[in-house]
Chain A
Amino acid sequence: DVKVTQSSRYLVKRTGEKVFLECVQDMDHENMFWYRQDPGLGLRLIYFSYDVKMKEKGDIPEGYSVSREKKERFSLILESASTNQTSMYLCASSFFGLRGNEQFFGPGTRLTVL
């Protein structure tokens, strides 16, 4: 079974703090994704990576950065957390190209910024 794990299920941070969300997958997937999930808006792509040290902006990258130093690990960084970044963050992974028919999701991290 594919496993995508996220470092925390719940996180509470203060405005201005630097926040790190970690994601690890064990299926040797090339692609990794970070989404945020908000009621009524579905999932919106923040960043994705198709290889180590490679990254591409998604639909809402402002206020976020990412790091992919190893194939299995993809980190989302909030440089200076703000209250409008309170949300559920989902990590996903998939194979690259035609093998990437399905994205596999982690359990999510619910981040609250006070």
Chain B
Amino acid sequence: AQSVSQHNHHVILSEAASLELGCNYSYGGTVNLFWYVQYPGQHLQLLLKYFSGDPLVKGIKGFEAEFIKSKFSFNLRKPSVQWSDTAEYFCAVRVAGNMLTFGGGTRLMVKP
């Protein structure tokens, strides 16, 4: 069965710092990849997704992610974080059908 690893469980940054959150998956075939975000007290919402084509995917709120097939990775990046980016971030992979497998999540705190 496929699995998703998010190595950073907690990340603390100051405003304007650059962000990179790691995501690795274990599956050798075709995958679809997602990043979801959960702001405090809110429901999960989609940040961005990769299906095919350009491996650099741009999402909402200035986030982007790069799919590197050889490394089985889909890291999330943002050049300059804001206090409002404080949230929990989840990477997810879809192998077949419509089921997603999620990583354990990364809690990001941005200090003003």
Contact = CB atoms under 8 A, between A and B. Distances in A.
Interface string A77-114: 00000000000001010111100111101111000000
Interface of A: 4, 31, 33, 35, 39-45, 48, 50, 58, 90, 92, 94-97, 100-103, 105-108
B104 to A, nearest CB: 4
- Of B36, B45, B98, B101, most buried by chain A (CB within 10 Å of CB) is B98
B60 interface: no
A96 B103 contact: no
A98 to B, nearest CB: 9
A96 B42 CA distance: 25
A40 B43 contact: no
B99 A58 contact: yes
Nearest to A90: B44
B32 interface: yes
A89 B90 CA distance: 16
Greatest chain A CB density within 10 A among B36, B46, B100 is at B100
20 contacts: A4-B43, A35-B102, A39-B105, A40-B104, A40-B105, A41-B104, A42-B4, A42-B6, A42-B103, A42-B104, A48-B98, A48-B99, A58-B99, A90-B43, A96-B98, A101-B49, A102-B46, A105-B43, A106-B43, A107-B43
A96 B97 CA distance: 8
A41 B101 CA distance: 11
Contacts of B92: 43
A103 B43 contact: no
